[in-house]
Structure formats: C-alpha cells, structure tokens
Copies of this chain bind each other. A is one copy, B any other.
Amino acid sequence: MPEAGSLRVALLGCGVVGTQVARLLTEHHDELAARVGATLEIVGIAVRNPDAPREQVTGTPLEPLLTADAEGLVARADVVVEVMGGIEPARTLLLSAIAHGASVVTANKALLAQDGPTLYAAADAAGVDLYFEAAVAGAIPIVRPVRESLAGDQVRRVLGIVNGTTNYVLDRMATEGLDLDVAVKEAQSLGYAEADPTADVEGFDAAAKAAILASLAFHTRVSLDDVAREGITSVTADDVASAASTGHVVKLLAIAERNRAADGTDGIQVRVHPALVPVTHPLAGVRGAYNAVFVEAESAGELMFYGRGAGGGPTASAVLGDVVSVARHRVLGGRGPVESWYADLPVLPATESRTRFQVRLEVVDRPGVLAQVAAVLAGHDVSIEAVRQTAGHAAADGHEVAALLLSTHAAPERALAATVEALEGLDVVREIVSVLRVEGS
C-alpha cells in the first residue's frame, strides 16, 4: 500500500508522449499534489527494452524507473497511464490494471475504437475510472465537454478536423496550390506525416476518432467498422482551386450525426470523407496541423473546440488532466462518468445520408448539353442549386469541351450515386472529374 497522502502512478510506454508525461509529473510535483490532495509518485515506467539509450527530458533521470515487467508494474499501481499505443499488449495490460483495481488513463485511440466497450465495461464492473481525453484530438478538451458539460443537452451533430496531417496537407494545397503528393512529402519532412502516410491520408486515424466521438455523443456502441471512410488521396489541386472559386475550402471531416433513414428509422451516421466547407464556417479557419471539433447541440447551439491534435507536450497535457481527475477520485471518493449505451441507436448505412454535393464534369461544348444534364438530375429528384460553366476550350483530342460545376441542394447519397452513374452514360459527358460533399452550411 502507498503511504498516506501518496498515489502510485505507473507509466506504460516512454516514447514522445510518455517522456513528456514523466516530465510534467516530476516538474509539477508539488502543484499536482495541491490539486489532487496527495502526491503522485511514478513507481515505474514499462518499456520493451529498459537498456535502450534515452534522451533525458527531466531533471531526474528516468532510467531507474524503467522496467520490462509491465504486468508486475500494473499490479502495484493506483493509477496506470497507458501511452504505448497499439492493440496488444496495451489491451491486456489495461484489463489487468482494472482487474487489480487501478484507475486507468489511456491515449490509445486505436484500442478504444476497436475494443472500447470491453474496456468501459471492465472499468465499470471494477468500479474504477477509465479516462481517455488524449485519445481524441490530442490536447483539445473534447471528451470531457461531451461527456460532462453537455450531459444535460442533446448532441445533433459532430464535425471534426481530427487529423492534423491531412489538415496540413489540404491547407498547403489551398494556400500554395501544391499537388497532393508534394504536400504530403512536405508534411513528412516536417515530421507531421509518417514515412508510410496511409493511416492519415486514407482516413483510418480520423475514422478511429470518429467512432469514439460518436460513441460519446450518442451513447451508442460505435466501432471502427461502423464508420464509412474515404481518405484524401483522390483530392486534386484542381478540386481545391475549384472549391475556392465557390467560397469553400476542402477539409477531411469526421462526421457523426443523428439521422432518420428513408424508412423512418431514427439512428446515427458516422463517416469520414473530404468535404467542402464554406469559408465563413468556423472549421474553415482551422489551419496547418491544428485540429478542431465542431458540435451542434439542441440547447447549446454551435460549439467549437480548437487546438493541437498531436505532439508530446499537448498529448501529455491532456493525459495529466485525466490523471488529476482520477487521482482526485481516489483521494476524495466518487467516479467519473461511466460510458453506457442506453440510447443504443442503430448505425445507419452511409447510403442513408443526405448532403449537398458539388459535381465537376467535363462536357462537350455545344448547345443543349446543360439541358440534358439538368434532366438527369431532375429525373433522380436531385435539385440543382447552382451551375457554373467555363468557356469552352479545345481538348487534347481536338474536341471543344467545357467544364461544368453543379451544386445541388441536399439529396440522398443513393440518389446522387444513381445520378452520377446516369451522367456517366450521357454521350455529351466526357468525364466526371470529381464529386464532393458540402458540409457545415
């Protein structure tokens, strides 16, 4: 047992985030004690190889705390902080910590998106806290506001820029006119993107966060498999320039919304895809590698939370806020919010969503083309909001062609898909250049 007035903290992982967590626990030792009502003592840091060379980031060397025996460590801690990432052994260690009666704090979005309900249920059964502010949007307090501040309200929709890498890439495409691959290389050279950028640019990272946000916002079990996902790899410099010409920016959005299916089913939808956002929308101003989560709630109206979504310091700040909360519960009693899926809404298929679209087409430049195109949309009950046609020019094959930009009113996803298929079948349509959803208007 710890001495009176002291809590034993175990760290799992000592990478970029773990070392910053250790630094804050050490440097702010006295101030944290004042906030918690007990001192927080690091009793060990579990790493794969305790003998590997490490950068020293705190006044106190971490080496004496390092151990390869993670199982042994979690058995003798009051608070376990998991910042190792990945599914295993993180999952087993967290379940073991919970079984030993420790409170746990994790930054592991992949694990929560895949197996959150198992962890929540285990924590609930053991009567311990499971906190995970750092798992969504890094330093931005979003989990706590959604779980606690909005506990008396009803969330209608969450729109998030939750992946800093893709936001940086799209921002550079917009401001510098860069091509996607050039912007990705730039992000890699700055350390914003991994050598293999797949998890970011294909939207897997954003989808994991979307699943967690949807679970919290709608009190419904949502896993990664429920998220319709489309990355930014098909977004071109032309798409971004065309968006700007109509007063939009392209953002990769994680969207979770309450929706009603065509058959009347009340449910939710969770999806990640590039979208056009009006420049006047608060999300449009989120630049560089920043993240932001925009929430629409019944009574609160529109809220936005903005900040750094990644990085050692920002993530450690969110972890420490959670550590203080769970530690206070151990000192004063009480528990944080418990995830329960009492709403248990069905997750509707993506085909049930209704959005506005912008469709760019290359068409043969001759009279009557617009009438044919418009007839196809009308035939599928898709209402046109605006049409822009550029002056014709000669294509490589000598034909006179024109670019057509169609903006629609809100239409069902399935109607739009059928429309695009029908447009592809028209003789006068040479190419469907792009189809992008419009959100936040």
Question: Size range of the interface on A?
Answer: 35 or more
Whether the Cβ atoms of B328 and A299 lie closer than 8 Å is no
Q: Is A329 in contact with chain B by the CB < 8 A criterion?
A: yes
Whether the Cβ atoms of A34 and B151 lie closer than 8 Å is no
A186 to B229, CA, bound (A): 45
Please name all residues of chain B whose beta carbon is closer than 8 Å to the beta carbon of A31 when the two chains form the complex. Answer: 342
Whether the Cβ atoms of A301 and B314 lie closer than 8 Å is yes
Binding-face segment, A196-204, A254-262, A316-324: A316-324
Whether the Cβ atoms of A152 and B320 lie closer than 8 Å is yes
A149-170 interface bits toward B, Cβ cutoff 8 Å, 1 = contact, 0 = none: 1111110000000000000000
Whether the Cβ atoms of B299 and A317 lie closer than 8 Å is yes
Q: Is A379 in contact with chain B by the CB < 8 A criterion?
A: no
Whether the Cβ atoms of B318 and A149 lie closer than 8 Å is yes
Please name all residues of chain B whose beta carbon is closer than 8 Å to the beta carbon of A19 when the two chains form the complex. Answer: none
Whether the Cβ atoms of B306 and A307 lie closer than 8 Å is no
Please name all residues of chain B whose beta carbon is closer than 8 Å to the beta carbon of A340 when the two chains form the complex. Answer: 34
Please name all residues of chain B whose beta carbon is closer than 8 Å to the beta carbon of A342 when the two chains form the complex. Answer: 31, 34
Binding-face segment, A88-96, A331-339, A430-438: A331-339
Within 91-147 of A, Cβ neighbours of B (below 8 Å) are at 133, 139-141, 144-145
Please state the number of chain copies in the assembly. Answer: 2
Please name all residues of chain B whose beta carbon is closer than 8 Å to the beta carbon of A306 when the two chains form the complex. Answer: 282, 302-306
Whether the Cβ atoms of A332 and B335 lie closer than 8 Å is yes
Cβ-neighbour of A151 out of B145, B299, B321, B334 (below 8 A): B321
Q: Is A148 in contact with chain B by the CB < 8 A criterion?
A: yes
A404 to B356, CA, bound (A): 49
Please name all residues of chain B whose beta carbon is closer than 8 Å to the beta carbon of A298 when the two chains form the complex. Answer: 313, 317
Q: Is A273 in contact with chain B by the CB < 8 A criterion?
A: no
Q: Is A43 in contact with chain B by the CB < 8 A criterion?
A: no
A35 to B299, CA, bound (A): 17
A151 to B32, CA, bound (A): 8
A285 to B31, CA, bound (A): 35
Q: Is A236 in contact with chain B by the CB < 8 A criterion?
A: no
A321 to B303, CA, bound (A): 14
Q: Is A251 in contact with chain B by the CB < 8 A criterion?
A: no
Whether the Cβ atoms of A324 and B282 lie closer than 8 Å is no
Whether the Cβ atoms of B144 and A303 lie closer than 8 Å is no
Within 5-35 of A, Cβ neighbours of B (below 8 Å) are at 20, 24, 28, 31-32, 34-35
Within the complex, the shortest CB–CB distance from A297 to chain B, in Å, comes to 6
Closest residue of chain B to A152 (Cβ to Cβ) is B320
Query: What 9 pairs across the A-B complex have the smallest Cβ distances?
Result: A334-B334, A152-B320, A141-B149, A151-B324, A333-B333, A299-B317, A300-B317, A303-B307, A304-B306
Q: A32-B151, A302-B306 are in contact. List 12 more A-B contacts (CB 8 A).
A: A24-B153, A24-B299, A139-B299, A144-B145, A150-B321, A151-B321, A282-B306, A297-B317, A304-B304, A304-B305, A328-B337, A334-B335
